[in-house]
Amino acid sequence: MKYQNLPEKILLILLIAVCLNCNEKSNGEDETFATFTVDSNETNIEFFLKDDEGNYLKSIENLKSYVETNGKRLRFAMNGGMYQEDNKPLGLFIQNQKTITPLNTREAKGNFYIKPNGVLFITIDRKAFISRTENFTNDGQIKFATQSGPMLLIDGEINPEFTQNSDNVHIRNGVCVLEDNRVIFAISEKRVNFYDFAQHFKNLNCKNALYLDGFVSRMYSPEQKIEPLDGNFGVIIGITE
C-alpha cells in the first residue's frame, strides 16, 4: 500500500494499528529492555532441560535443533532460572508434571537466596503463575515449573531488599504474569541494577515478577530480529509451534 498521499490523521491511525500488533523491543522511550509478551492461554510455553538421550541442551542452538527434530518451530527462547556447574537446576524444576529437582528452601548467599525467591509455573490448562517459594504447593496440576530468585516485584511493590541507584549492575532477564494471563519476558540490553529492572516490570503493570539470571542471559526472538544461539544454561523456556 502507498501511504504518501494519505491525510496525516489517517496515516497516524494506520501506524498505531500496526504497532499494537508488535512485540516492542522497548517500553515507550526506554530502550534499555527488550520484551516479549504472549498469552499463555493461546501459546505453547514449555520448559526444557535435556534432549531425548539425556544430554543437557545448554544452548539455544541445541534447543532449536531439538524442537525442529521433533517437527516444531522455535518461536522464542530464554534461559529459565539459575543452575549448578553441571547445568542441574539450582531449585525446583517440574517438566511434564514430573518433579526433576525439588524445591530449594536453603539459607545461603547469592542472588537466588535473596528473600523472597519464587516459582514460575504453568498448569496443565495453560494458566501461568508466579508464586513466592514459601507459598508454592504442587497440587498435581502443574505441567512446568522453575524456581529462581529473587522476586523483583511482590504484590506490585519492588522487593525491599533492592537499593535504588545501586552500582551492582549486570545484564539481567526476568518474567512476570499479568492478571489477564499474558506472560511478559524481559531482558536488559545494557547492564542494570535490580531496582531498575524491577521498576521496568512495575511500569508494565506487573504485580509479581521473578528474576531469572544475570550476565549469562539470552533472549531468542526472531520476530524481533533477536537471534543469539549460544549459551550454557540449565532450564530453557521455549515457545514452540
The Cα 66–Cα 62 span in angstroms is 6
Q: Does pLDDT of 9 surpass 80?
A: no
Q: Does pLDDT of 145 surpass 80?
A: yes
Q: Does pLDDT of 239 surpass 70?
A: yes
In a domain, 139, yes or no: yes
Domain count, the chain: 1
In a domain, 3, yes or no: no
C-alpha cell at 110: 547469592
In a domain, 45, yes or no: yes
In a domain, 15, yes or no: no
Q: What is the pTM of this model?
A: 0.87
C-alpha cell at 162: 533492592
Q: Does pLDDT of 113 surpass 60?
A: yes
Dihedral sign of CA atoms 105, 176, 184, 94 in order: positive
In a domain, 184, yes or no: yes
In a domain, 5, yes or no: no
In a domain, 11, yes or no: no
Picking from 216, 224, 174, the residue whose alpha carbon sits closest to that of residue 24 is 224
Collapsed DSSP state (helix, strand, coil) of residue 68 = helix
Segments in 122-225 forming alpha helices (H): 194-203
Burial label, 153 (beta-carbon count in 10 A; 0-12, 13-18, 19+): buried
The Cα 201–Cα 221 span in angstroms is 19
In a domain, 44, yes or no: yes
Contact 24, 36 (CB under 8 A): no
Tell me the per-residue pLDDT of 159-204, one tens digit each, with 9 for 90 and over. Answer: 999 999 999 999 999 999 999 999 999 999 999 999 999 999 999 9
Tell me the per-residue pLDDT of 51-79, one tens digit each, with 9 for 90 and over. Answer: 999 999 999 999 999 999 999 999 999 99
Residue 198: which region, alpha, beta or left (left: phi > 0; alpha: psi -120 to 50)? alpha
Give the neighbor-by-neighbor strand order of the sheet with 33-39.
Answer: 33-39, 182-188, 173-177, 209-213, 151-154, 157-158
Contact 235, 201 (CB under 8 A): no
Tell me, what's the pLDDT at 20?
35
Domain assignment of residue 230, given as a range: 24-240
Tell me, what's the pLDDT at 224?
94
Q: Does pLDDT of 15 surpass 90?
A: no
Residue 216, phi then psi, degrees to nearest 5: -80, -10
| Alpha-carbon distance values, 158 to 166, 217, 225 (Å) | 14, 21, 31
Cis (ω within 30 of 0) for the bond into 150?
yes
Mean pLDDT over all residues of the chain?
A: 90
The Cα 140–Cα 124 span in angstroms is 9
The Cα 162–Cα 150 span in angstroms is 10
- Point out which residues pair with 118 in neighbouring strands: 132, 148
